[in-house]
Structure 1
Amino acid sequence: MSSLQVLDLSGNTISGKLPSCFSSLPLVHVYLSQNKLRGSLEDAFHNSFELITLDLSHNQLTGNISEWIGEFSYMSFLLLGYNNLEGRIPIQLCQLDKLSFIDLSHNKFSGHILPCLRFRSSIWYSYLRIYPDRYLIREPLEITTKSVSYSYPISILPIMSGMDLSCNNLTGEIPPEIGNLNHIHVLNLSNNFLIGPIPQTFSKLSEVESLDLSNNSLTGAIPPGLVQLHSLEVFSVAHNNLSGRTPDMVPQFSTFNKSSYEGNPLLCGPPLSRNCTPEEEASPLPVRTSTDDIEESGFMDADVFYVSFVVTYIVMLLVTAAILYINPNWRRAWFYFIKQSINNSY
């Protein structure tokens, strides 16, 4: 099948190794998830330079990710989760500048998180519009986000982006450069052996909807700037060694319960039952006492917003009514305008 571009055999019970002949085919999209495939990736796709989608998740693959992975210059979705892959995450992945989603979860990867990973820019969208028949996603993909696995339809996948490295043996600190991935929607680094603080740069993840750093050995305070992540729907730093005060209970953080913070004995403040001491209260959080501070921070307390909106609305109604009562000419003009509007509506 020398012209084969799309191969979908997912959701079967196919066993055995990946054949080396795949590398001689002009494959663009490969869906082989949820089978019983064994062996390594060494020879399977090393010449498939036009691959955009490679979904080998939920199999029994072993070995390392080969260095030739960096030659897939069009790779957008790389899903290798739920296998038995091991070794270090190859630095060649940093050459893939058109990535949308990478899932290496539930494997045995070790070493550090790569600080040089890049994700798709707006240029890739333009490229897809020029060559729609060949390069558009052909099948839905199952992606775990917000702690649940979803089958994302074709219409949603072009705007979906993220990284799932959970449930591995990764060590070291979280690179601050990860905070520069401000277009991703999902970031899951849970269930590893990560140490050090949560990078302050995470406050720049402006589009992230799910952020899971739970079950590691992270230390230090939770950056107060995380309250600027207004798209955040799922958040967890549970079961680490974090200390200090929890973030302000402002949207979106007012929606997160104590399960997001449990397992950190030195954390204090709502929604946890442990109250902060005066020293903990004073340490990491900035105090906003003026309107200028609120404007610069980019958000306002929800209660303050609602009260001010209602008061302003009532005042405007009263002022308008007073003006119409005092000035009969304006009053007649107003009622004439209302009458004409009603006639036009009919």
Structure 2
Amino acid sequence: MLDLSYNMLNGDIPSELLSPDTLETIDLTANRLEGFIPGNVSRSLHSIRLGRNLLGGSIPESIGNAIDLVNLLLDGNKLVGYIPWQLSRCKNLALIDLSSNQVQGNIPIGLGNLEQLVVLKLQKNNLSGDIPSSFSDMSALEILNLSHNSFTGELPFTNSTQSLKLCYLGLHGNKLNGVIPSSISLLQSLITIDLGNNELIGIIPTNIGTFLKLERLDLSKNYLSGQVPSSVANLERLMCLFLSDNNLSGPLPELPKWVMVNVTGNPGIILDTEENRTSGSMKGSQDDFRSAIWVAAASFVLGFSLSFYWAGPGEKLMPRLETLHCDD
């Protein structure tokens, strides 16, 4: 194991650093490393952590030679080019984080066949094309974040979906179209649904209120029409409901005062002024809001945060979290 993370290292990564036959883990997270990722990658590697540096160039295809690879973290760099299809050879991959780079092109279809994949974070890139339909069959997947790209097409989840462990679905800021399928209600582990800022049409599914764990629902900035389903009131854990800038109409279901609600940009929404419902971003008193923030903070610490981060098999959640401030 080679761990040089959270130092102030700069310069290029030596070309031979990833090649020793006995090396299983390399962690160079949060330095100032530049240049390219070396192309001679050892087959013995289980964990490659090069996130939060200044690395450029493309992701080397030779990473696919590390057939026992479990964790691949290259987030927060300046990587360009395409996601190599050779990653689909790494059948033990559980965590892929390529977020906050400049990677382009389609998602390789083979990534949807990684049966052990738990976390896939590709947000904040230049990816495009359809989301592979095989993502609907990833039975181990818990976190899928594809936000802030240019994906098109329809949502991949169908009546035969096997992604029943999915707890975070982040597709914000793409170009997805079509309707929200009623089959999304099969994903009963969901805590966050973020489909905001897309091109979705149709109605909000009437069975949206069947989720038992849902805390955050963001459908803002789409082309949704019809009424807000009354079943939304059945979401007992809901804390955030963002429906702004659609074509919704009719009355807004009665919700607890601590739920943050934004329905601005829906002229047809009927608001209950007697219950202090406004078209702003939140209803309820300041004390209610503070209570909601404390609940959210507690959920974060317990591992149910809206920005949940999975560290990998046998590793602790948020291993470097030391202090969480929740001041007024």
State the TM-score, normalizing by the size of structure 1. 0.64
Aligned residue in 2 for 1:151: none
Q: State the aligned residue count.
A: 232
Query: How far off is 1:188 after superposition?
Result: 0.2
Q: Which has the larger radius of gyration?
A: 1
1:164 corresponds to which residue?
A: 170
Q: What is the alpha-carbon root mean square deviation over aligned residues?
A: 1.6
Give secondary structure in 2 for the equivalent of 1:177: helix
Q: Are positions 1:3 and 2:44 aligned together? A: yes
- 1:237 Cα deviation from its structure 2 partner: 0.5
C-alpha distance in 1 between matches for 2:71 and 2:192: 22
Asked if 2 retains the 8 angstrom alpha-carbon contact of 1:209 and 1:232, the reply is: yes
Please tell me whether the aligned partners of residues 115 and 176 of structure 1 are also in contact (alpha carbons under 8 angstroms).
no
In the alignment, the residues of structure 1 paired with residue 176 and residue 251 of structure 2 have an alpha-carbon distance, to the nearest angstrom, of 27
Q: 1:234 aligns with which of 232, 240, 248?
A: 240
Read off the aligned partner of 1:267 and give its amino acid letter. Answer: I
- Corresponding residue for residue 89 of structure 1: 131
Whether contact under 8 Å (1:173, 1:197) holds in the other structure is: yes
Q: Give the alignment partner of residue 112 of structure 2, picking from 70, 78, 103.
A: 70
Contact 1:221 1:243 in 2 (8 A): yes
Alpha-carbon distance, 1:185 to partner: 0.7
Select which of 117, 141, 144 maps to 1:99: 141
Report the equivalent of 2:55.
14
1:1-346 matches, within 5 Å, as 1-25=42-66, 26-116=68-158, 117-121=161-165, 161-248=167-254, 250-251=255-256, 254-256=257-259, 260-270=262-272, 271-272=276-277
What secondary structure is seen at the aligned counterpart in 2 of 1:36?
A: coil
Q: Which runs of 4+ in 1 moved over 4 A?
A: 271-274
| TM-superposition CA deviations, 1:199-226 (whole Å, max 9, x none) | 0111111101111000101000001111
Who is 1:280 aligned against? none
| d(CA) in 2 for partners of 1:256, 1:238 | 15
Gaps of 5+ in 1: 122-159, 275-346
Higher helix share: 1
Q: Using a 3 Å threshold, how does the CA distance of structure 1 residues 273 and 81 change in structure 2: closer, same or farther?
A: closer
- Distance in 1, matches of 2:249 and 2:61, equals 51
Unpaired stretches in structure 2, ≥5 consecutive residues: 1-41, 280-328
Distance in 1, Cα, partners of 2:47 & 2:54: 19
Provide the residue aligned with 1:153 in structure 2. Answer: none
Provide the TM-score with structure 2 as the length reference: 0.68
* Matches of 1:43 and 1:179, distance apart in 2: 31
Cα pair 1:114 1:175 within 8 Å, conserved: no
Q: Residue type of the partner of 1:177?
A: S
Match of 2:48, SS state, is strand
The separation in 2 between residues aligned to 1:14 and 1:43, in whole angstroms, is 20
Q: How far is 1:168 from its partner?
A: 0.2
Report SS of the residue matched to 2:117.
coil
